[in-house]
Structure 1
Amino acid sequence: MERASLPDVSVVVVNYRGAEDTKTCLRALYGELDYPVDKLQVVVVDNASGDGGADAIRAAEPRADVVEAPANLGFAGGCNLGVEHARGAVVAFLNNDARPHRDWLRAAVRVLLDEPSVGAVASKVLDWEGRAVDFVDGGLTWFGMGYKRHAGQPDDGSHDAPRDVLFGTGSALVARASVFRELGGFDERFFMFYEDVDLGWRMNLRGWRVRYEPTSLTFHKHHASMSEVDSSRELYLLERNALAALYKNFSDETLARVLPAALALAVRRATARGELDPTQLEITRRPADPADDLAPVPVPRQALAGFLAVDRFVELLPSLAASRQVEQAARRVTDADLVPLMRKALEPAYPLPRYLAAHDVLVDVFGLDEVFGRPRKVLVLTGDVISARMAGPAIRAWHMADVLSAEHEVRLVTVNPVCDPPDAPFGVLRVARRDLEPQVDWADVVVLQGHALEFAPKLKEPGSTKVVVCDVYDPMHLELLEQSRDDTDEKRAADLTAVTRVLNNQLVRGDFFLCASERQRHFWLGHLAALGRLTPSLYDHDRTTRSLIAEVPFGLSAKPPHRTGPGLRETLGLPASDKVVLWAGGVYSWFDPLTLVRAVDRLRGRRSDVRLVFLGMKHPNPEVPDMDVAGQTRSLAQRLDLVGSHVFFNETWVPYQDRQNWLLDADAGVTTHYEHVETTFAFRTRVLDYLWAGLPIVTTDGDSFADLVRREGLGVVVPSEDPGALADALEKALYDEEFAAACAERIAVVRERFTWENVLAPLVDFCRNPRPAADRLPGSSPLVRNRPLAKKDRVLRDVRLVKEYLDAGGPGEVARRATGRVLKKLRGHG
């Protein structure tokens, strides 16, 4: 990292009667740390030590800002007080009994700069000698207790890979100041212990990641502040804070199962720790002498800690309930999303036999293995017909739901009036637009296409926290330019404005985008850039931007087609000797079936057995009107006397599950279109069926599929609106058996790349760990800001500007610019 790109950092160190440790820590920060001193602020908070430690620290290190707390605020309150005095865009927390490695801060800051979705960096922490692990990963039990995984084990190099974690240890944590403040800092009710667990949990819930970075290294003496305190007081805080953390942060659904079990387990943990006889007050165990029955029952302090923790949790409930309301309203991800970060949620944590027995009972009775093994809920939302006869958008949505259902609970929902789905391994529903909200509320992730975002207005609200994937494989505004050519200019302009607004709403709202080709990706990147979604932090993190928008072309079944019924030859009465070229999709305005019909007319003169079959003329979605080009195609075929002899129109679409029977009867597949902007960015979805069936492809040049056919040798590419070249291409694909066989061999290799399981891999990967886009996260803010120039630098800048203005326009330009600067300053102060 260049020095100029480093943000200002404020390191907060809390001191409580540990001045000597604190001075050692400060010496390392100022003397050993590899970070520019002028970009480093150290804030020491003295937690009302009352031992003269604050003055000793000031004397030892005058560069530190020493803040004296009015009382002992605990670690959480002390850190928050330090952040109130912090000036940096990054705040770092370091225990006063810790020693940073020289790369500690620079390594953590690098992660924050490189990864815009990371809200905090969890440092690697070793013991003081650097031999044993103190913190390399965090775990969380279902009953709210966070713990350091692998603590005490030798540092053998097995924890030197960065990873996402639920939380970092407060003894060495580096965070975006804006995010820390957005979350309200550490929860001061915790005083100490689990305030770092709670902070990381809340950060993750709001969509920010916490990233463990092993090169951000510190060394820790561990619990110097608790060395003289009875362990039962520590147990009390651990028990109480665990209940507080789970109460605040689990969802309503999870909390309903977890809280009663956690309270019961806390009591069992207390009795097991204190080795209390749980049957001593049974009525059948009364002593013979009634006086003996009144004797006090001793309760060990370790047992008392658990009972008092539950009691105190009840006292805190009113204020915790208010905090819970805030956290649940702000959450961006689900409990299911965070289960992997809990590592082993059902870990019992304590090896006490009576306790372990109770743990197993509670997990079983309350069904907690179901809660923490719950699949993610994914809603796939479309406006298209879901039935045996489906068009491209519905086919795409169907296969998304099918592939995702292998790992998640999926619902495919359409707002179209027509919904008569085939059997599916996932739920398929038809929902009226006005009733869509409960479906959106149910989902953890919403995958939508077309106009679907407009049907769920809550998703567009500024406070919406749902993770949304927008499938923009269909550039609807480009289609509209061609489709509406016969409308009035006024209507075309209004319709184009409306559909562009629909797409812009998606591009502003979405957390992840899918497109169908590299060409489309370039096109949508232009849109996203114009809307401000391509931020410097996104680019620095991912120069390919595929973490924001990924290619997901149309796919095909991994299972080869096999005949299940009659095909086009039996249906249309065509003999096996005829050569059939199949048009496998709909007939829309942006296609050019007219040139195709003319080409067949030319070809029949030398090949009388050529046949052209249109798979389906009437769109299955009643909301899609017939387009003029379909009527023009019929009329042209009739005028040329081709209908019923060389050109055949199947008026109703073939059911999707039966289309292979028609494909298997064909000898080649064809798609033709005009040369215009829609073609440039289109992805001809039904052409994938030609690959599936191994048919040589004849296509017009200009779209991404033509590039694929030409590059891979899958057929013939011809110029647009050239019936002669198209006739020759059809003849080659249909009658040159050696050429067709070679095409089929190459298609067999290429089609493996286009199976639905392969093409949907970016969506599958995203849904395994769905997160809001970094620029949509609350508290997102640039880390490095422009600093005011020194007086000397301002003078040099002004001299350079005067020279530029003189070169550009002479004294008049200088005067005009100077006047503009004066007016700008006046407006700024007005």
Structure 2
Amino acid sequence: MPEGVSLPTVSVVVVNYRGTEDTLTCLRALRTELDYPADRLQVICVDNASGDEAAAQRLAAEPGVLFVQAERNLGFAGGCNLGVAQATGEVLAFLNNDARPHRDWLSAAVRVLREQPTVGAVASKVLDWDGKLIDFVDAGLTWFGMGYKRHAGQPDDGSHEIARDVLFGTGSALLVRAGLYRELGGFDERYFMFYEDVDLGWRLNLRGWRVRYEPSSITYHRHHASMSTVDSSREYYLLERNALASMYKNLSDRTLARAMPAALALAVRRATARAGLDPTQLEITNRPADPAEDAEPVAVPRSALSGMLAIDQFVDMLPALAAAREIEQSKRVRSDADLIPLMRKAMEPAYPLPRYLAAHEILVEAFGLDEVYGKSRRVLVLTGDSITDRMAGPAIRAWNMAEVLSGEHQVRLVTTNPSCTPPEATFEVHHAPRRNLPEHVDWADVVVLQGHALEFLPGLKQRGSTKIVVCDLYDPMHLELLEQGKDGTDEQRGKDLLGVTRVINTQLRRGDFFLCASQRQRHLWLGHLAALGRITPELYDSDPTTRSLLAEVPFGLPAKPPQRTAPAAKGVLPGISATDKLVIWAGGVYNWFDPLTLVHAVDRLRTRRPEVRMLFLGMKHPNPDVPEMGVSGRLRELAQRLDLVGRHVFFNETWVPYEQRQNWLLDADCGVSTHFEHVETMFAFRTRILDYLWAGLPIVTSDGDSFADLVRGEQLGVVVPAEDPGALADALERVLYDEEFAESCRQRIAAVRERFTWEVVLAPLVEFCRSPRPAADRLPGASPLVRNAPLGTGGVLRRDLALVKEYLDNGGPAELARRAGGRLIRLARNAGKRHG
């Protein structure tokens, strides 16, 4: 650890049951062999009513150990919880009494907890006593609820030295954040022993926390198991019963309805196959000839009885388990599908018994379990834009998100806009009035939303909501509104701006993952997030790039190059011949654009290049809720006044269908985008330029936005100063008539456009949806790892002494007294906030 860093106090709990010599060896190793500060370590030994008074006295006399005597045998789960009740550490560590720690066991695990605030527990690497064979390096879980240690018994050959997320860690060597452990209620004492660690890890993951296997946190396990003198049937009984309990508590309603009946049936078959029982002995056709013999008792081996009694006792546990299930299901933020990768091989039969394997195959097919455990999660993409064959930018973006995500997940694209007549799709598309949105949100595991959609879902807005929310911020609506509302009164513009800013801030406070369109936008949204307190030390320490919270996802374009399906402009529109040079404006005309300078440039260029033609492709927005803006009227008026309409400037008065736009683009010789120099331009992402890239059109654009940087840097066309008609006319002439230059632009465009296909740009969203989690600061039970460090902690003491010296040097005792008084007031206020 870096010098001066305050380490959390770790409370190590060791449970003893008739293993005194092993326990003493373990306790002494904890005190003498660990590379962890002694003043940051609490060692607790729980004697689980071993019944040996002399042994208990020896344990109680061990120096530096807090001894706790249980009144009865509470099992491993209850013994650990009894020890935790006496623990004062910010971190809890559980160590089997027949284990010894490597010197770095605690320091390596605590480092993970400090550096990765979304990690709730650290699973140690566990080897045999000699350090040669594997006990635990990875976790697996079958669909019927039985956890197992993958690679157990294999040589430690160096292939398990990479840290990874796991579903659970073994209770024999596990560290957990103390506050989180207590919020979860600790180990479930109903289990007594076996699978309480599986259940704890399962619940941690369901609540959005990670369990992290850390290979440098090592312990060695002797395996003097407390069950060594007990008949194996009792172990079978606990394994069967507890597996069913874990399934019942932690599976969703949908999965439980499929898996539980099959698991109960498989438990019976496992018991009869394990015992070699004749499954046909009670068939009516197998009666003995002598009726008296038919009434004779049938011998049932204990190994068979264990499975049947486990199911019987599981029934008795159901009322208590039902209450636990209600809690876990209400707190979960991750779906069953999210955890399937952590199960490793969910469909693993686990037992190599022929009759058992046959039953496994039958049940998997009969209950469709391959489908249940093979399906990925459900993703809702929510927009407020029209979804028709004529779509604007937000709808196009939402559509392509849905299309790309549908390759791995069940996806619904839902719009609140009544204009919803979608093209054919491989995913569900719905129109939903605002009152019906909650049913779609309830269906989803992940909600991807844009615009004002969150405002229609008050339940989802609350920080207490456990649904995973992705906010698409590619459109800085508040900056756009500054230009869009210029025709309104100052009072109304002010109100509108406050309203939109509130909408954005609500998303920024609530979201678990954010998307922006460019590096410039990252700077903008990072500032917003920092101002709202979302850029925390915990986030920064675990991810200095903050890309786990905010990722660049530009607007995209189709991977397939455009294919002409019909003639469009040249030789079709009156006034545009097949030999004319056509400049295209491939989108709407809005107040933040500058089409007026473009018209003046065309007016200049036509005097020396009479065959130049300028086409504005979309004058009427496909969303009926978007009115025509003031600049559209001024554009028409200017073109008429210069006598350009129908001669050199043309207006498409409708909106070109999305699947037909390529025909118009392929008719053009270059694409243009002009805008003013203002703050909206600085952070905007002009989606029309992507269509130019898709069609291979050289680009002429005004300076000031992120695409101008791209065009200039990659030599895709010409960048001109804003509001300069002369420079714009010259640029248009160059890309239209300098064939060598235009060809070089097209060659560069062919290389660059591969970076902007939807499959490429959406990669961060696809990756997040593969393993969606709440943001680090939204995890339930999140709290600082080190709180109220004592004055004697090195770093704190050195810092305070340095401050004392500084205050004395600068102002003498009076300054020191003033500063100390201010600090005491702040501490008192903070304490009031914590306890208020």
Question: What interval of TM-score do these two structures reach, taking the shorter chain for normalisation?
Answer: over 0.9
In structure 1, the partner of 2:431 is: 430
In structure 2, the partner of 1:407 is: 408
| Structure 1 vs Structure 2 CA RMSD | 2.0
Q: Which amino acid aligns with 1:598?
A: H
Q: How far off its partner does 1:766 sit?
A: 0.9
Counterparts of 2:825 and 2:193 in 1: how far apart (Å)? 54
- Give the 3-state SS of the residue equivalent to 1:436 in structure 2: helix
- Give the 3-state SS of the residue equivalent to 2:687 in structure 1: coil
In structure 2, the partner of 1:268 is: 269
In structure 1, the partner of 2:736 is: 734
- Give the 3-state SS of the residue equivalent to 1:236 in structure 2: helix
Aligned residues: 829
Counterparts of 1:376 and 1:224 in 2: how far apart (Å)? 40
Check if 1:132 corresponds to 2:133: yes
- Give the 3-state SS of the residue equivalent to 2:538 in structure 1: helix
Over residues 574-631 of structure 1, what are the superposed CA-to-partner deviations in whole Å (9 max), with x where a residue is unaligned? 1122111111111111111111111111111221111111010111001111110111
Over residues 458-517 of structure 1, what are the superposed CA-to-partner deviations in whole Å (9 max), with x where a residue is unaligned? 211333111111110000000011111222222112111111111111111111111000
Q: Which amino acid aligns with 2:786?
A: V
Show the 5 A alignment for 1:153-302. 153-302=154-303
Over residues 403-447 of structure 1, what are the superposed CA-to-partner deviations in whole Å (9 max), with x where a residue is unaligned? 111111111111101011111111111111111111111111111
Q: How far off its partner does 1:451 sit?
A: 0.8
Q: Which amino acid aligns with 1:436?
A: L
Show the 5 A alignment for 1:430-579. 430-573=431-574, 574-579=576-581
Q: How far off its partner does 1:826 sit?
A: 7.8
Q: How far off its partner does 1:565 sit?
A: 1.0
Fraction of identical pairs, as percent: 74
Q: In structure 2, do the counterparts of structure 1 residues 223 and 256 end up closer, same or farther at CA, with 3 Å as the change threshold?
A: farther
Q: Which range moves more in the overlay, 182-191 or 344-353?
A: 344-353
Q: Which range moves more in the overlay, 541-550 or 566-575?
A: 566-575
In structure 2, the partner of 1:373 is: 374
Contact 2:6 2:793 in 1 (8 A): no
In structure 1, the partner of 2:59 is: 57
In structure 2, the partner of 1:641 is: 643
Counterparts of 1:159 and 1:570 in 2: how far apart (Å)? 67
In structure 2, the partner of 1:75 is: 76
Check if 1:398 corresponds to 2:399: yes
Structure 1 residue aligned with 2:611, among 602, 609, 612?
609
Contact 2:386 2:418 in 1 (8 A): yes
Check if 1:92 corresponds to 2:93: yes
Counterparts of 2:572 and 2:331 in 1: how far apart (Å)? 58
Counterparts of 1:20 and 1:815 in 2: how far apart (Å)? 56
Counterparts of 1:210 and 1:797 in 2: how far apart (Å)? 34
Q: How far off its partner does 1:296 sit?
A: 1.6
Q: Which amino acid aligns with 1:470?
A: C
Structure 2 residue aligned with 1:598, among 590, 597, 600?
600
- Give the 3-state SS of the residue equivalent to 1:125 in structure 2: strand
Over residues 649-684 of structure 1, what are the superposed CA-to-partner deviations in whole Å (9 max), with x where a residue is unaligned? 111111111011010111111101111111110000
Q: Which amino acid aligns with 1:762?
A: P
Contact 2:616 2:650 in 1 (8 A): yes
Structure 2 residue aligned with 1:712, among 693, 714, 728?
714
Contact 2:413 2:429 in 1 (8 A): yes
In structure 1, the partner of 2:321 is: 320
Q: Which amino acid aligns with 1:734?
A: L
- Give the 3-state SS of the residue equivalent to 1:522 in structure 2: helix
TM-score (norm 1): 0.97
Counterparts of 1:813 and 1:145 in 2: how far apart (Å)? 65
In structure 1, the partner of 2:149 is: 148
Counterparts of 1:201 and 1:506 in 2: how far apart (Å)? 29
In structure 2, the partner of 1:37 is: 38
- Give the 3-state SS of the residue equivalent to 1:717 in structure 2: strand
Q: How far off its partner does 1:722 sit?
A: 1.0
Q: How far off its partner does 1:58 sit?
A: 2.8
In structure 1, the partner of 2:671 is: 669
Q: Which range moves more in the overlay, 47-56 or 500-509?
A: 47-56
Q: In structure 2, do the counterparts of structure 1 residues 730 and 199 end up closer, same or farther at CA, with 3 Å as the change threshold?
A: same
- Give the 3-state SS of the residue equivalent to 1:381 in structure 2: strand
Counterparts of 1:555 and 1:797 in 2: how far apart (Å)? 51
Show the 5 A alignment for 1:5-20. 5-20=6-21
TM-score (norm 2): 0.96
- Give the 3-state SS of the residue equivalent to 1:43 in structure 2: strand
Q: How far off its partner does 1:825 sit?
A: 7.7
Contact 2:6 2:789 in 1 (8 A): no
Q: In structure 2, do the counterparts of structure 1 residues 741 and 251 end up closer, same or farther at CA, with 3 Å as the change threshold?
A: same
Q: Which range moves more in the overlay, 48-57 or 194-203?
A: 48-57
Q: How far off its partner does 1:827 sit?
A: 7.2
Counterparts of 2:98 and 2:51 in 1: how far apart (Å)? 19
Show the 5 A alignment for 1:340-355. 340-355=341-356
Counterparts of 2:683 and 2:796 in 1: how far apart (Å)? 49
Over residues 245-264 of structure 1, what are the superposed CA-to-partner deviations in whole Å (9 max), with x where a residue is unaligned? 00101110111111111111
Q: Which amino acid aligns with 1:594?
A: L
Q: What are the ranges of 5 or more consecutive residues in structure 2 without an aligned counterpart?
A: none
Q: Which amino acid aligns with 2:34?
A: L
- Give the 3-state SS of the residue equivalent to 2:162 in structure 1: coil
Show the 5 A alignment for 1:756-795. 756-790=758-792
Q: Which range moves more in the overlay, 283-292 or 445-454?
A: 283-292
Contact 2:672 2:699 in 1 (8 A): yes
Q: Which amino acid aligns with 2:707?
A: F
Counterparts of 1:793 and 1:106 in 2: how far apart (Å)? 17
Counterparts of 1:792 and 1:690 in 2: how far apart (Å)? 61
Q: Which amino acid aligns with 1:325?
A: E
- Give the 3-state SS of the residue equivalent to 1:550 in structure 2: strand
Q: In structure 2, do the counterparts of structure 1 residues 530 and 223 end up closer, same or farther at CA, with 3 Å as the change threshold?
A: farther
Q: Which range moves more in the overlay, 25-34 or 248-257?
A: 25-34
